[in-house]
Amino acid sequence: MAARFKDLALDAVDHQATADWWCTALGYSRRLTQPGHEPPPPQWPVPIHDPRGSGPLIWVNPVPEPKRVKNRMHLDVWGDTAELLALGATLIRRHDARHDWDVLADPEGNEFCVFPPPAGPRIPLTRR
C-alpha cells in the first residue's frame, strides 16, 4: 500500500465563510482547539468535521485566487438540491435521463454532485 486516505482539502478565497457554509450544508461543525492550546489565527485553514463521527475531516484552506476551471476532484453528497440552493449553492447541471444526480457549486464555485438520499429512514443531522 503506497498511501492511505487521511482528510479532504477544499480551497477557498473566503475560507472562513466557506467553512461555515459547508458546516451548515453537511451538518458539520468546526473542530475545536485542544484544551491548553491557543486557537489558530483566522488566516489558517479551518478544519470541519462530522460530529457524528461518520464523515471525513475537511480542511478549508485559504487561497488568494478564485476558482477558474472545473474541479478535478469533487465531493459527492446525498442531499436535497432545493435545500442546498436555498443555502446559496448554484445549479450547474440538473439530473437527466443519463445522470441521476445534480451538479451544484458552493458559494466559492467548487462543484459537487448531489444524489437523492437513499431510501429508508432519514438520518438526523444531530445526535439526540
For residue 52, give its domain range. 8-34+41-115
Over residues 76-102, the pLDDT tens digits come to 999 999 999 999 999 999 999 999 999
> What average pLDDT does the structure give for the chain?
91
Position 111 in a domain: yes
What pLDDT was estimated at residue 127? 39
Position 124 in a domain: no
CA torsion 88→92→98→100, rounded to 10°? -10
Position 127 in a domain: no
* Distance from C-alpha of 9 to C-alpha of 2, rounded to nearest angstrom: 20
Does residue 62 contact residue 45 with C-beta atoms inside 8 Å? yes
Using 50, 70 and 90 to split pLDDT, how confident is the model at 125?
A: very low
What pLDDT was estimated at residue 124? 53
Over residues 10-36, the pLDDT tens digits come to 999 999 999 999 999 999 999 988 888
Position 51 in a domain: yes
Domain with residue 93: its CATH number is 3.10.180.10
What pLDDT was estimated at residue 121? 60
Percent of the chain surpassing pLDDT 70: 93
- Secondary structure (DSSP) of 17-35: HHHHHHHHHHT-EEPPPPT
